[in-house]
């Protein structure tokens, strides 16, 4: 009984170490520029997901708004979602253009 448990523990330990050696770490940035690039990519991908949700929410508020203030609020949501996504696109352009210079930051 104890031998079976001990065999299982030893076998699983060796299998885990063998399989763990082939796994690459998810973050491979070694410079400050690399970390800036990784963080911005996460934020940019998040903005791609949030943009349609914000536009849909603004559209629903706009279409169901019974008062002019609700209609204006729906317009503001859609406008600012587009503006913020535009800022993210411009920042993505700047980072991709200056990526060679940023990677030398330590």
Does the model's pTM come out above 0.85?
no
Instruction: Over range 26-47, report the average pLDDT.
Output: 80
- For residue 25, what pLDDT band results from cuts at 50, 70 and 90? low
Residue 58 — φ and ψ, nearest 5°?
A: -65, -40
- Give me the pLDDT at residue 72, please: 95
What distance, in Å, lies between the first and last C-alpha atoms of the chain? Answer: 56
Question: Which residue would you say has higher pLDDT here, 54 or 26?
Answer: 54
The residue ranges of DSSP E strands in the chain, in sequence order, are none
Sign of the alpha-carbon dihedral angle for 6, 12, 14, 16: negative
Torsion of CA 71, 77, 79, 82, to 10 degrees: -150
């Amino acid at each position: 009984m104890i031998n079976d448990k001990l065999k299982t523990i030893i076998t699983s330990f060796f299998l885990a170490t063998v399989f763990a050696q082939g796994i690459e770490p998810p973050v491979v940035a070694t410079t400050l520029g690399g970390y800036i690039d990784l963080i911005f990519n996460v934020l940019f991908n998040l903005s791609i997901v949030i943009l349609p949700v914000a536009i849909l929410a603004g559209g629903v508020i706009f279409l169901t708004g019974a008062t002019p203030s609700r209609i204006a609020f729906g317009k503001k949501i859609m406008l600012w979602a587009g503006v913020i996504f535009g800022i993210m696109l411009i920042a993505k352009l700047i980072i991709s253009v200056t990526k060679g210079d940023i990677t030398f930051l330590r």
